[in-house]
A = this chain, B = another copy of it.
Amino acid sequence: MKYLFATVLIMMMNSVFSSDFYSPNGNIKLTVTLEEGQIYYFVSFKQKIVIKNSRLQIETEKEGQILNDLVETSSTSKTIDELWNPILGEQSEIRNHCIEVMKVFEQKNSGIKTIITFRLYNHGIAFRYEFPLQKNLNYFNIKNEQTEFRLTGNHKAFWLPADFDSQEYSYSEGRISDIDNNTIDLNNGIALKSIPSRFAVQSPLMMKTDDGIYLNIFEAAVDNYPVMHLSVDKANFAFTSLLPSNPLGIKAYLQTPAKTPWRTILLADNAANLLESNIILNLNEPCKIENTDWIKPVKYVGIWWEMHVGLSTWDYKGSKSAHSFYQEETVQTKHGATTENAMRYIDFAEKHQFDAVLIEGWNIGWEDWFGNWKEDVFDFTTPYPDFDLPKIASYAQSKGVKLIMHHETSGSASNYERHLDRAFNLMKEYQYPAVKTGYVGKIIPRGEYHDGQTMVNHYHHIVKRAAEYQIVVNSHESSRPTGMHRTWPNYIAAEAARGNEFNGWSIGNPPAHETILPFTRLLGGPMDYTPGIFEIKMNVYDSSKSFQVHTTLAKQLALYVTMYSPLQMAADLPENYERYADAFQFIKDVALDWQKSIYLHAEPGDYLVVARKEKIGERWFIGAITDENDREINLGFSFLDKEKTYEATIYSDSPEAHWQTNPKAYTIRKINITQQSSLKLQLAPGGGAAISLKPLNN
């Protein structure tokens, strides 16, 4: 760490009732006041108030409200300006530049001390509650956190209903005053929903004011604490933190010294700035893994989509019935994870130089894995009889292809923890370097939520144990990330949002979906969205099905660039890639780890254009996507090396393309590009474009 500026120290005893602080560039002003013993904060961005008098409060089980009747005992501030290098990332170097303000408060009667630490960045502020080691507070239980975010107008919001068990919704776009979970179509393919109230949304909550300010409420470094949702006071445009409880009504069990996650408010008048801010990552702890050589990007294929489209099953018998004893159905389909099929995918991965193959449905337990709240559903170590684990593993090794283990838990975290060492030891024995975990179903320990403290700790436990085994983790149906992959870079990706899979068997994801995710879910960390579905319409598998991917084929390619992740799947079937081999070339080429990323054009819910330069090498990749509207993008290339001429391969929608009526109409052309070039990209409705730029040998 390099502290470029000197630390500024201000000591104030019992005298200050209001104090102002500014972001390094002066654009953001934070005011903290103590009014009648209560802490409030205000925020303005470029002279406009964006957060008005919002109260901070914590209620504990025994001590009650510990942030009233306060005196401020000290206030210190310092400048942080440091550079650091993520192990994998959108940039090879990230600057953490902010003003940090620490205010110490003491409750008059109890003597309980609480510190509020603020950080002011050029594109947002963050703050958290800290409970230092002290005589009057040792073990304590959070009964409620009432952090307010009082906004100044009826902004446009991209919101998901608050749900303590799922984030797999499509975004609703509308005014704050229109937020109402009763308006959500719940026939959306989500298996388990736990919506705590009608007027409550998830964070990250992306908003835009009428005067063009982008405002995002989120959190960073959620650890040993539940996930923050937001209650909505629609009349006052005010949000209050809403945390899931355990079955005893407690939000978090803490011991001093303790810290809550950072509560963040990102601010920008240009949407691209918001995406480039890195604030969430900067608020997380530095990497805790000493040797990270083994943490590498993963481009993979897998036995997975064939189950989603109904060509094969996870379970051995192809029946998916709990009691095959009684449910003597005709076997309608076949098991996906066979030795033969695994070897076919390994061959495909080798041929097309993928890093790895994921195989789901390899282990016993899929007969009644779903919806039964069963504790000991999987053992994570016993393959089905038609899955020859040693043979497959040695075949993969002989081909230089890695295997990704699959650990579906059915939500039974207790069962997974019980088997974890055995499961990871099996992985090491057969040289699986990566695991995809899954949490489909109601949580066990029963009464816990996916987003509660217990489960947050569980996910981190898995990641930390995996690090000891040098295993990278891609978790599905876990709580959405909040930058932990800085600290534990083996937490390579997560799902934790509505992924591409919903297009296979539900009303799917509207074309705008992928233009919103970067402003919400992706702020917290990489997503395993599983792009690359070329066979857009599901009626090719089953003529009775009207399901489809809500993009063009070209947009599926663009997603590899617009949705940052160091783990990316080519999700479609090998045979579909063979059929569209020219388009497939982009997926084969695209990098996963970056030296720099430039958000060229961005508007949540409308479009996104990103250019990224690979970390090692000189190639650039550009992704451009649009929502349901067609769009013309004027692309400049000033970011390119001025010395070089690049061969650009442009994968774009054909003029007649349309996500619904003609999704597979694409064109591929090659042109030379220099820093001075400009290019018009035509994006079809629900369309996109992907470009790879390779320097020509001069």
Contact = CB atoms under 8 A, between A and B. Distances in A.
Contact of A246 (B326, B447, B461): B447
A64 interface: no
A553 B375 CA distance: 49
A255 B418 contact: no
Contacts of A133: 323, 325-326
Contacts of A250: 446
Contact of A372 (B139, B323, B417, B420): B139
Given A417-B417, A417-B418, A418-B417, A139 B247 contact: no
A412 to B, nearest CB: 11
A246 B253 CA distance: 19
A152 interface: no
Interface in A324-381: 325-326, 372-375
B417 A375 contact: no
A86 interface: no
A11 interface: no
Contacts of A74: none
A367 B446 CA distance: 30
Contacts of A372: 138-139, 255
A135 interface: yes
Contact of A414 (B253, B326, B417, B421): B417
B246 A135 contact: no
Interface in A120-177: 133-135, 138-139
A196 interface: no
A372 to B, nearest CB: 5
A312 interface: no
A422 B422 CA distance: 11
B446 A138 contact: no
Contact of A447 (B247, B253, B373): B247
A375 B458 CA distance: 12
A73 B322 CA distance: 26
A248 interface: yes
B326 A135 contact: yes
Given A255-B374, A445-B454, A446-B246, A461 B139 contact: no
A422 B461 CA distance: 14
Q: How large is the interface on A (under 10, 10 to 19, 20 to 34, 35 or more residues)?
A: 20 to 34
B417 A322 contact: no
Contacts of A417: 414, 417-418
Identical copies in the complex:
2
Contacts of A422: 421
Interface in A398-446: 414, 417-418, 420-422, 445-446
B247 A373 contact: no
A142 B446 CA distance: 14
A418 B247 contact: no
A247 to B, nearest CB: 4
A139 B457 CA distance: 29
A248 B457 CA distance: 21
A322 B256 CA distance: 11
Interface in A584-630: none
Nearest to A323: B138
Contacts of A418: 417, 420, 461
Nearest to A136: B326
B445 A373 contact: no
A368 to B, nearest CB: 8
Nearest to A375: B253
A247 B447 CA distance: 7
A530 B193 CA distance: 52
Contacts of A461: 418
B138 A322 contact: yes
A448 B326 CA distance: 34
Given A326-B135, A461-B418, A373 B446 contact: no
A457 B412 CA distance: 14
Contacts of A375: 253, 457
Contacts of A445: 414, 445, 448, 454
A464 to B, nearest CB: 11
Contacts of A325: 133
Contacts of A134: 326
A375 to B, nearest CB: 7
Given A246-B446, A417-B417, A445-B454, 15 more contacts: A133-B323, A133-B326, A138-B372, A139-B322, A139-B372, A139-B374, A247-B247, A253-B373, A375-B457, A414-B414, A418-B420, A418-B461, A421-B421, A421-B422, A445-B448
- A-B interface, 6 closest residue pairs, ranked by CB to CB distance from nearest: A421-B421, A247-B247, A445-B445, A139-B372, A247-B447, A417-B418
5 contacts: A139-B374, A246-B447, A417-B417, A418-B461, A447-B447
